[in-house]
Amino acid sequence: MAKNIGLLALQGAFREHGNAMRALGCDVSELRQKKHLAGIDAMIIPGGESTAIGKLLVDLDMLDTVREMIREGLPVYGSCAGLILLCKTIIGSEQPRLGLLDAAVRRNAFGRQVDSFECNLPVPVLGDAPFPAVFIRAPLIESAGPEVDVLAEVEMGGQNKPVAVRQGNILATSFHPELTDDMRFHRYFLDMI
Ligand code: GLN
């Protein structure tokens, strides 16, 4: 049976994730209210504005339920703002979050001069070919706990910083695979479900 992917559709760039998962044979349910959370096999939290998505999750009384579902093992993939919302620590911010990924993240970490950029990122779990990673006002993981597997890193200020990570049922990237034709991250996520 086709997997039913719940796509958080409150704010941001969610449609492209839906297209990618449909192309891989999944059903996609857009999540806009608490009642939509029933019956999903996995969840995607898209890029957008993490403060706005977090506030809407609170206002719609969805934050605690989503956190509990992920804690109980629901596979989740967060890109960009989605990654931020998954992290335990958001440096310098008290904004609402799910707080399940044992990592400290810095928002807008690449500064204004390099607001957006694309690079060929080595991601060993996806094979030899580098991944075309699109970063848009992207966050960067400054530190991560021992349960977090680093799937890809970039060099910043002479140090390697994670930009794609996995912790059990949680996958997160600070870039946007849904904006490219390369389906390897979405396929990797499908394999987690
Ligand atoms: N800068 C945004 C935030 O802090 C994330 C950007 C994105 O999702 N493309 O929420």
Calculate mean pLDDT across residues 125-134: 98
Lowest model confidence (mean pLDDT) among 11-15, 107-111, 113-117: 113-117
pLDDT reported for residue 1? 87
CA of 138 to the centre of ligand 1 (A): 6
Residues 6+ apart with CB under 8 A from 67: 98, 99, 100
- pTM strictly above 0.85: yes
List, in order, residues 6 or more apart from 11 with CB less than 8 Å away: 48, 49, 52, 53, 56
pLDDT band of residue 111 (cuts 50, 70, 90) is: confident
Percent of the chain with pLDDT over 90: 93
Residue-averaged pLDDT of the chain? 96
Q: What is the pLDDT of residue 156?
A: 84
Across residues 107-128, what is the average pLDDT?
A: 89
DSSP string, the chain: ---EEEEE-SSSS-HHHHHHHHHTT-EEEEE-SGGGGTT-SEEEE-SS-HHHHHHHHHHTT-HHHHHHHHHTT--EEEETHHHHHHEEEETT--------EEEEEETTTTTTTTSEEEEEE--GGG-SSPEEEEEES--EEEEE-TTPEEEEEEEETTEEEEEEEEETTEEEESS-GGGSS--HHHHHHHHH-
**Closest C-alpha residue for ligand 1 atom 2:** 49
In whole angstroms, what is the distance from residue 129 CA to residue 144 CA? 26
Closest CA to 3 of 18, 14, 11, 16: 18
Which ligand 1 atom sits nearest the alpha carbon of residue 80?
Answer: 8
Reported as a single tens digit per residue, the pLDDT across 174-184 is: 999 999 999 99
Within 8 A by CB and 6+ apart from 114, the residues are none
What does the pLDDT read at residue 114? Answer: 66
What residues contact 112, with CB distance under 8 A and at least 6 apart? none
pLDDT at 110 over 80: yes
50 lines ligand 1 (CB under 6 A): yes
Q: What is the mean pLDDT of residues 66-72?
A: 98
Distance between Cα 24 and ligand 1 center (Å):
26
Clarify whether 176 is annotated catalytic.
Answer: yes
